[in-house]
Amino acid sequence: MDHLDLARWQFAITTIYHFLFVPLSIGLVFLIAVMHTLYVVKKEDVYKRMAQFWGKLFLLNFAVGVVTGIMQEFQFGMNWSDYSRFVGDVFGGPLAVEALVSFFLESTFLGVWIFGWERLPKKVHLASIWLVAAGTTMSAFWILTANSFMQEPVGFAIRDGHAEMVSFGALLSNPQLWLEFPHVVFGALATGALFMTGVSAYKLLRKQQLDIFKPSFSIAIVVALISSILVAIVGHDQAQHLVQSQPMKMAASEGLWETSGDSAPWTVIAGIDVSGQKNDFSLEIPGLLSVLSYNKLTGQVQGIKDLQAQYEAQYGPGNYIPPVRTTFWSFRIMVLAGGLMVLLGLYGTIAVMRKRLERQKRYLRWMVPAIGLPFIANTAGWIMTEIGRQPWIVFGLQKTEDGVSPTVSSAMVLTSLIGFTLVYGILAAVLIYLFVRTIRQGADEEGVHPADEENAKQAHEGALAETEQPLPAGTF
């Protein structure tokens, strides 16, 4: 395996791993801010305990997310120096704002929120968690501003062989950004909400702290339903934009080798033969791809072979076809996971509204592993987005093979890849251990720490045991 393939693997591993934590942070902090707001408005301590419990899990996730983000930047600098030089003058602005404003905002006010309980006026303290939520979301905005340029370059001029930004406003008004950003944010809200419902379901099944986890589930399941539906709506708009901006990615995600007729069918599943550039079999729904592309039953969609010929005429000889199987199946995995999220959210919301949640034992058991659904959808979505753009690292401007560092050897990339994998494995083990321990401890009782409560329980059981000892025969 040469250093280009190793660099690709390292990018994939670091990006996917980092992106497990980012959406969970965005979604969780929003729900915590809602619970904190309910505490300030209703003046009921149960909401304070809810915010503090979920805040512990948020802090664990946030800390690991920061570490993995730093490691991801390291691999960019080491493996993709030609790419960094090519887009540096464009990415410098948004990434500087992300670091100096957004990350500063979320980090600073996260500290204020942690240490501000009972020390700050309640409304000032409440503002701090909303500022953390705003900073976390704005971080995603600036990162996606850069990523959107990779998908659809705007506001630049090519000078001396690299891209220079000529319009910051064009970067911010990039149509790709205003579809990608809400899609990611709604997906993040669904991630935080499904995580909260899954943990709450685990505690409800064990009848532990129902006063904390029943309202937690009720709030989160509504957010999960709404955000999952909005993800699908924005995703539909994004797919329609894809037909115009990156038609090859759209064709690959549908396994569409030949340009369709006037009414394009949507392929549910297919046996894709890449070498033969055909599908051995397929299950199709007539007209649905035209509906997805144009909101009507008619409308032609370009196929991979015609686009390959078009790109050769436009960009010169070469292979412009992305890995079709990966793009095709990652899209369907994302859609399937998203569909299940909507169904589970709808069922749970109805159960909550009818006050029958605790009777739904089987449903609650499903909700525990359902924590993984948004992570699967997020990962599959990113794989489709990045793999489907190949062979371009910046669409139409720079190929991936031209962005890799020329002076880094395969051995160097392999060494760092092994090191990253080991560190990620250790981080995952530590995080899972801390998550499980925190969840088992549950929320603090008002004025009583769980450890104190456990000691008191053991002392109480010991006292009972002593009183239940058989009395000496001499007593009688």
Q: What is the pLDDT of residues 297-317, one digit of tens each?
A: 999 999 999 999 999 999 999
Indicate if the pLDDT at residue 476 is higher than 50.
no
Whether residue 351 is contained in a domain is answered as yes
Average pLDDT over residues 163-186: 93
Whether residue 295 is contained in a domain is answered as no
- Helices of type H across 268-360: 288-294, 304-315, 324-353
Whether residue 293 is contained in a domain is answered as no
Average pLDDT, the chain: 89
pLDDT in tens, 347-406: 999 999 998 888 889 999 999 999 999 999 999 999 999 999 999 999 999 999 999 988
pTM for the complete prediction? 0.89
**Residue at token pair 């115009």:** 244
CA-based nearest residue to 316, from 407, 405, 402: 402
Whether residue 6 is contained in a domain is answered as no
Q: Which band of pLDDT confidence, cut at 50, 70 and 90, is reported for residue 462?
A: very low
CA quadruple 399, 403, 407, 410: dihedral positive or negative?
negative
Q: What is the DSSP letter of 280?
A: E
Whether residue 296 is contained in a domain is answered as no
CA dihedral (357, 360, 361, 366) in degrees, to 10, reads -90
Residue 146 has a pLDDT of 92
Q: Which domain holds residue 161?
A: 23-244+323-443
pLDDT in tens, 65-119: 888 888 877 888 888 989 999 998 898 888 888 888 888 888 899 999 999 998 9
Structural domains counted in the chain: 1
pLDDT in tens, 428-460: 899 999 999 999 998 887 644 444 444 444 444
CB-based contact 247:396 (threshold 8 Å)? no
Whether residue 250 is contained in a domain is answered as no
Whether residue 225 is contained in a domain is answered as yes
Whether residue 426 is contained in a domain is answered as yes
CA-based nearest residue to 333, from 294, 381, 292, 285: 381
Lowest mean pLDDT among 20-34, 74-88, 191-205, 233-247: 74-88
Residue 465 has a pLDDT of 42
